[in-house]
Amino acid sequence: MRTATVMLVSALALSLAACNGPAQPAAAPKDASAEAPPAAEAPAPAPAAVTLPTVDTAAVQARLTPDNTLEALTFEAAGSTTASGAIKGYKAPVYAVPVAAGQTLTVAFKPSNTSQYMNVTDAADTTGAAVHRGEVDGADASLTAAKDTIYLLQPFMVRAAARRGESGTFEISVTRK
């Protein structure tokens, strides 16, 4: 009986060994100092440089009235600036701001006279339709450009006040991001 048990145990051991594959020698313990250091994380890619469209001042000035003077605002592609000016009757400056596709232009208009407003138009739109109408939309504008464009910031005096020759000063804060 003992021989039968030994043979059964031996047969069982052989069948288990066959299931697990050939016996492997035990692996040597790893030397922690021999391990390669973990790979350093790759640095984040630098943000792509924004290329602003060029303001064709002659073409834009040709679309304005003789009462308007054009000034191209120049500042960092993602930054801000402030401009100030005066309106006397119909005479007023117009500010050109280039904006790259995907950028947001934020404008805050602070007039000294309650008859002053500011419209924002797209210089490429020959109809002159405003994308922001100060009298209706308020003193602050926030526009995201679908394509490279030149926005024109046009401060003005309402018609009745302009006919009377009223005047006032203003400040415009412009941010492009």
HEC letters along the chain: CHHHHHHHHHHHHHHHHHHHCCCCCCCCCCCHHHCCCCCCCCCCCCCCCCCCCCCCHHHHHHHCCCCEEEEECCCCCCEEEEEEEEEECCEEEEEEEEECCCCEEEEEEEECCCCEEEEEEECCCCCCCEEEEHHHHCCEEEEECCCCEEEEEEEEECHHHHHCCCEEEEEEEEEEC
Q: Is residue 51 part of a domain?
A: no
Reported as a single tens digit per residue, the pLDDT across 92-115 is 999 999 999 999 999 999 999 999
Residue 154 counted as domain residue? yes
Residue 122 is assigned to a structural domain of this protein = yes
CATH value at residue 108: 2.60.120.380
Domain tally, the chain: 1
Residue 128, in any domain of the structure = yes
pLDDT over 90 percentage in the chain: 69
In a domain, 16, yes or no: no
The pLDDT of residue 157: 97
Q: Flag whether 126 is in a domain.
A: yes
Residue 28 forms part of a structural domain = no
Q: For each of the chain's 177 residues, which pLDDT tens digit applies?
A: 544 444 444 544 444 455 555 555 555 555 555 555 555 666 655 556 789 999 999 999 998 999 999 999 999 999 999 999 999 999 999 999 999 999 999 999 999 999 999 999 999 998 989 999 999 999 999 999 999 999 999 999 999 999 999 999 999 999 999
- What tens digit of pLDDT does each residue of 9-26 get? 454 444 445 555 555 555
Instruction: Name the residue range of residue 91's domain.
Output: 57-176
